């Protein structure tokens, strides 16, 4: 299988050299490529679902962060106003 993938040699040629059927070697090569993603950047179904979940979580965390930033500015301003009133 790796002879086909690493060298780019035809499945038929490698299968003949190894004394196995082209169909068997072809299935093994296809299964390996499916597991590896074949380097083409394609995601399998599990990875795609995980990516969507992580993107949603990232979006929620960004909204939480923005809210907390605004809240901290509000409370900092409140504390500053309270300190100014006390010092008068």
87 pLDDT more than 60: yes
Q: What are phi and psi of 56, to 5 degrees?
A: -65, -45
DSSP-based three-state secondary structure for 5: helix
- 67, 73, 74, 87 from 81: Cα distances, Å: 21, 12, 11, 10
- Confidence (pLDDT) at 19: 93
Task: Specify if 68 maps to a domain.
Answer: no
* Cβ-contact 78, 70 below 8 angstroms: no
Structure tokens belonging to residue 65: 């962060």
38 pLDDT more than 70: no
- Confidence (pLDDT) at 43: 74
Task: Specify if 52 maps to a domain.
Answer: no
- Confidence (pLDDT) at 6: 87
Range of the domain at 31: 1-42
- pTM here is 0.45
Indicate the number of domains in the chain. Answer: 1
Distance, CA of 42 to CA of 35 (rounded, Å): 11
Distance, CA of 40 to CA of 48 (rounded, Å): 14
Task: Specify if 84 maps to a domain.
Answer: no
Task: Specify if 19 maps to a domain.
Answer: yes
Task: Specify if 4 maps to a domain.
Answer: yes
């Amino acid at each position: 299988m790796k002879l086909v993938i690493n060298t780019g040699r035809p499945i038929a040629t490698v299968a003949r050299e190894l004394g196995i059927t082209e169909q068997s070697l072809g299935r093994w090569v296809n299964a390996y490529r499916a597991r590896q993603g074949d380097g083409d950047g394609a995601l399998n179904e599990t990875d795609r679902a995980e990516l969507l979940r992580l993107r949603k979580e990232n979006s929620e965390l960004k909204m939480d962060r923005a809210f907390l930033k605004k809240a901290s500015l509000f409370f900092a301003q409140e504390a500053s106003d309270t300190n100014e009133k006390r010092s008068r």
